[in-house]
């Protein structure tokens, strides 16, 4: 894991002493201190120290960073069903650098790929690891290179803000449809750190901020970090007619377009009282029902006798030709050819197609 079989430190006391010196270095350079929750484990501090002391300058892949304290609610700590820290923690996969192939190789820990995917492909866990890395790098860089100054630290607060903004802007804040894929973002963010570390190793720039301000690094960030475009699905065409569920499937029907108007009922149908005549239109009125019956005579405005047209006795005196009936004894069939001699609309029903206007 530390690129060498020889350990970086000989005993635990030396590691604790170095961490105390790192606290003083970051406090002097960045004028800030970190609490234990914002710190990575001691093994990771030893890894970063060796990365600078041995002049390796390799960008860490962040996948085996552990917190210093196992705290409830920490996404990097295994918790029980009630949310408390599980005493049996499952460690992350460990990667070791192979100088012959110039790459990291995974040390088999016996965990399945499904468990690895459930652990690693999660933005919340990556965001937590990235924060621990930035805090640890701020302490170790200003301590290991031994030339940190209050006016120009090796890793400043601005450096942390630049890297943290990349995670928030392209990973945490956007929606799931627009954020960068986690594996792609991990690769690009690591490449940025490797470009800056390579420049530090070669003496191209003295600090991380100078490396991030380089035109080549800024162009890489501009070109490689971007939100994904949302592909809109084509809008579905509405159906030609509405559909309804008939129980045996969906059936199309023509919706009702207008509200029918009620025809006012004529007055004076009872007790022999004649209705008041009203002026009628100059042309015959159109039929007002589906059976093509006329309600009133076009010339006089008087109503037709409905029982007589149905070949029934009048309601006045129960006779077929009542002289006291106030209604007209003429055919009220809309297309009747001769209303005066016609026997009523019942005759047209019995003789369809006869005695009607062409």
Q: What is the pLDDT of residues 27-68, one digit of tens each?
A: 666 666 778 888 888 888 888 888 988 889 999 988 888 898
> Which has more pLDDT, 225 or 243?
225
Same domain, 46 and 127: yes
Please report whether residue 89 resides in a domain. Answer: yes
241 inside domain: no
Q: Which residue has the tokens 């239109």?
A: 281
> What does the pLDDT average to over 321-343?
81
Task: Indicate the pairing of strand 103-107 with strand 243-245.
Answer: unpaired
Report yes or no on 195 lying in a domain. Answer: yes
Cα separation, 318 vs 273, whole angstroms: 17
Residue 308's nearest CA partner among 293, 295, 321, 323 is 321
Domain extent, residue 88, equals 12-224
For residue 202, the model assigns a pLDDT of 93
In a domain, 240, yes or no: no
Same domain, 166 and 85: yes
- 193 and 310 share a domain? no
Q: What is the pLDDT of residues 174-232, one digit of tens each?
A: 888 888 988 899 999 999 999 999 999 999 999 999 999 999 999 999 999 999 888 77
pTM over 0.85: no
Report the share of the chain in percent with pLDDT over 70.
66
Q: Is the pLDDT of residue 111 over 50?
A: no
Q: Are residues 143 and 286 in the same domain?
A: no
- Count of structural domains within the chain: 2
What pLDDT, on a 0 to 100 scale, did the predictor assign at position 126? 92
Kindly state the average pLDDT of the residues 224-247: 74
Is 3 part of any domain? Answer: no
- Taking residues 144-162, report their average pLDDT: 80
How much of the chain, in percent, has pLDDT values that exceed 90? Answer: 20
Q: Give phi and psi for 4, each to the nearest 5.
A: -160, 150
Domain boundary among the residues 204, 224, 244 is at 224
Distances (CA, A) of 192 to 33, 188, 251, 261: 26, 6, 60, 77
Specify if 236 maps to a domain: no
Residue 232: inside a domain: no
**357 and 289, same structural domain?**
yes
């Amino acid at each position: 894991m530390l690129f060498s079989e020889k350990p970086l430190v000989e005993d635990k006391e030396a590691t604790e002493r170095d961490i105390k010196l790192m606290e003083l270095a970051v406090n002097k350079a960045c004028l800030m201190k970190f609490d234990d929750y914002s710190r990575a484990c001691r093994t990771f501090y030893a890894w970063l120290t060796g990365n600078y002391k041995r002049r390796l300058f390799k960008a860490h892949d962040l996948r085996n960073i552990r917190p210093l304290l196992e705290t409830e609610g920490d996404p990097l700590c295994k918790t029980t069903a009630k949310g408390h820290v599980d005493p049996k923690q499952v460690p992350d996969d460990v990667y070791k650098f192979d100088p012959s192939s110039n790459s990291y190789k995974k040390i088999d820990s016996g965990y399945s790929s499904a468990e690895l995917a459930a652990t690693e492909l999660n933005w919340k866990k990556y965001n937590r690891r990235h924060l621990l890395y930035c805090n640890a790098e701020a302490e170790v860089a200003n301590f290991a290179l031994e030339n940190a100054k209050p006016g120009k630290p090796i890793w400043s607060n601005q450096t942390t803000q630049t890297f943290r903004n990349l995670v928030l802007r392209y990973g945490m804040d956007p929606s799931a449809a627009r954020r960068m894929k986690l594996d792609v973002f991990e690769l690009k963010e690591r490449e940025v750190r490797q470009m800056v570390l390579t420049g530090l190793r070669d003496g191209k720039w003295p600090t991380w901020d100078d490396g991030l301000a380089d035109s080549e690094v800024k162009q890489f960030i501009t070109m490689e970090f971007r939100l994904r475009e949302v592909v809109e699905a084509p809008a579905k065409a509405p159906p030609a007619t509405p559909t309804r569920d008939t129980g045996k499937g969906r059936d199309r029907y023509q919706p009702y377009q207008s509200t029918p108007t009620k025809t006012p009922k004529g007055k004076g149908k009872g007790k022999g009282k004649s209705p008041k005549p009203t002026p009628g239109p100059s042309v015959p009125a159109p039929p007002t029902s589906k059976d093509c019956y006329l309600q009133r005579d076009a010339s006089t405005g008087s109503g037709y006798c409905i029982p007589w047209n149905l070949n029934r006795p009048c309601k006045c005196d129960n006779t077929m030709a009542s002289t006291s009936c106030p209604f007209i004894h003429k055919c009220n069939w809309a297309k009747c050819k001769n209303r005066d001699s016609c026997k009523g609309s019942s005759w047209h029903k019995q003789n369809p197609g006869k005695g009607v206007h062409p």
